[in-house]
Structure 1
Amino acid sequence: MTEQSFALGLASAIFATLLYGSCYVPVRWFEAGDGLYFQWLMCIGQLVVGVVVLAVYAWPPVYPLAMLGGLFFAIGNALTITIMDGIGMAVGSLLWNTVTCIVGWAVSRFGLFGSLMKVPYDNVMNIIGVVVVCVGGCFFATLKHHPMKVRPAPWQLSEMDNQSLDGKPEERPISTVRRIIATLLTVFVGFLYGNMMTPMNFMIMESETSGGSLTYTTFFFSFSLGALLTSTVIFVVYSLYRRNRPFINPELTVPSLLSGIMYGTATVFFFTANQHLDPIVAYPILAKAPGIVCSCWAILLFKEIKGRWDVLQLIAGVIATLVGITLITVSKIKF
């Protein structure tokens, strides 16, 4: 088994948090439509990072089971734009991260789906920390999202005959049904994200049983390849459904690739944190902390959350989340 370093794991978790919380910022300025073109390019950007990691780790083989984790990610990622358009980047991220936190923690803590059971030094503190983190998620569920103004796709400009073309697109109202659908999708996406590491947990457990020393980062290229293949299939099926006229905003291309590179780099740090902190500690932290970064962008840059009550509610949720994360982190330390 690879020797663990708490300091390296914590540093990796911090870098992953900052990148995960910021990776959707480049694309939020542009009209993304249904988000499938964006998620396809994002997976390409992630694979670029995967090739670099592949070279660093001396070209390990492709692990088909690790590609399953990429499949879970790609399906969830294909729904993120729909969620963010329905309930906002901050609220959507905070809600699906709450579900991810519970699922990822439970899989590792109780050894579900063939994973190795991981019990922290202070089991009671760990459980209390997870509960507090989930309580923080309850504060986010009722936040009101104010849809941001985005730059329309190039061909949409000619259709805006009744609007002033002064560079200030109209704010789009969101129906209650659309909000409900987006909220339900966060549960599904959270479940998928919470199981991204499950196939790799199983392989590492099998490796340790046979005396091997596989690490999470060894699987990163396979994970990225699985994500790209899945997103390609999704995009092809979508293009056929649209009769070869998919929604493609060319202005999304570079921002989407940048988002993918940021997300891929964050995932490398996430895998490193899992290796050195164990998923039972890393998952709750990295499932919730990026939402705090997302919230900062949503308030300060995109103005998605307004009003004193909503801001106070968000602050209360963030404080609860930070307290929970602290308890989870300390539960890993043996005093």
Structure 2
Amino acid sequence: MSNNGTDLTLGFISSSVAILLFGSNYVPLKKYDTGDGMFLQWVLCAAIWLAALVANLVLHCPKFWPFAMVGGCIWATGNIAVVPVMKTIGLGLGLLIWGSFNALTGWTSSRFGWFGMDAEEVAKPLLNYLGAGLSVVRGCSLAVISGILYGSTFVPIIYIKDHSKRNDSIYAGASHYDLDYVFAHASGIFLTSTIYFLAYCIAMKNNPKLYPEAVLPGFLSGILWAIATCCWFIANHSLSAVVSFPIITAGPGFVAAMWGVFMFKEIQGQQNYLLMIFAFCIILTGALCTAFSKT
């Protein structure tokens, strides 16, 4: 198999694993009281940082670029809304909505070169536009805001990679392998979540609402998220962000909807089942169009 074929295979396998884990990583938390989510966020982000540290050691500690932390800061800011979203509109619908806006923001910034990035070209642009559009056709204000923030998390990393080719840039010679930035990304996540948690403790007059029973489920959720993100980084490298974003951000919503149907009974009634099947067909069509636009 050619290197291109190997990259595509690795990219789609990584995307599939990322979709499964992103759609499932909040499942361990559904049966536990997580309160306002601030303590849970800190636990989850601590687990993400530890998992990223292991990945960094496996990669023999590539150069740390502080600017890559900015994406993690943005993600942690968007993640604050996760618990309120799950409590108000459910896991499945929440992931569908923020996944849609995640896809839209990430795809457009990569495809058209926003925020100083190089615009990415694909062999079949019309098919790519169609795939991205179909992946977004699902859609509550917190979920929308979270989706937009989530979709911006990879901008700093892509910016560093794009400017690594320019000799006059401070990022000249930076790695083109996305996974080399996972530790910096996770460090931004943990630093920002810690700042938010400390601010929360101050606002609560040193009487924060802690939920010990949510510690282990929150840690497991963070580990699952970190593994999924590593797979996403690999998919970005193998497929390019303009292809991986619509696929990986749209798919978890359906996985979460399956959990909502069979485990948590969030979605009931024949009409809702048919609507969900219709949505899945749209998402699948969008993912396939995006995938074929690469070749």
Matches within 5 A, 1:17-56: 17-56=19-58
Match of 2:160 in 1: 203
Q: Distance in 1 between matches of 2:22 and 2:51?
A: 15
TM-score, structure 1 normalization:
0.83
AA at the equivalent of 1:120: V
Higher relative contact order, chain-length normalized (CA < 8 Å, sep 6+): 1
Deviation string, structure 1 residues 24-43 (Cα, Å, up to 9, x no partner)? 00011101111111111111
What is the deviation of 1:45? Answer: 0.7
Structure 1 position 104 matched with structure 2 position 106: yes
- CA separation in 1, counterparts of 2:283 and 2:129? 14
Structure 1 residues 69-118: Cα deviation after superposition (integer angstroms, max 9, x where no partner): 10011111111111111111000110001001111110000000011211
SS in 1 for 2:209: coil
The answer to whether the 8 Å contact 2:106/2:245 transfers is yes
Of 111, 119, 124 in structure 2, the residue corresponding to residue 122 of structure 1 is 124
The Cα offsets for residues 107-140 of structure 1, whole Å up to 9 and x where unpaired, read as 00000001121111000111111122222x1xxx
What is aligned with 2:294?
332
Q: Is the 8 A contact 2:122 2:128 kept in 1?
A: yes
Amino acid corresponding to residue 196 of structure 2 in structure 1:
I
What displacement does 1:322 show?
0.4
Residue identity in the other structure for 1:67: M
**Distance across 1 between alignment mates of 2:165 and 2:216:** 41
Structure 1 residues 76-95: aligned runs within 5 Å: 76-95=78-97
Identity of aligned residues (%): 34
Report how far residue 239 of structure 1 moved: 1.1
Tell me, in whole angstroms, the C-alpha distance in 2 between the residues paired with 1:277 and 1:295. 26
* Pairing 1:278–2:240 present: yes
State which of 263, 274, 285 in structure 2 corresponds to 1:312: 274
Moved segments of 4+, more than 4 Å:
none
Aligned with 2:100: secondary structure? helix
Total equivalences in the alignment: 286
Structure 2 counterpart SS, 1:22: coil
What letter corresponds to residue 105 of structure 2 in structure 1? V
2: distance between equivalents of 1:131 and 1:25?
28
Q: Which one-letter code corresponds to 2:268 in the other structure?
A: K
Match of 1:65 among 57, 64, 67: 67
Gaps of 5+ in 2: none
Q: Distance in 2 between matches of 1:114 and 1:57?
A: 28
Supply the RMSD in Å over aligned alpha carbons. 1.2
1:218 equivalent to 2:180? Answer yes
Aligned partner letter, 2:225: Y
Q: Deviations over 1:260-317 (max 9, x none)?
A: 0000010000000001100000000011001111111111001111111111111111
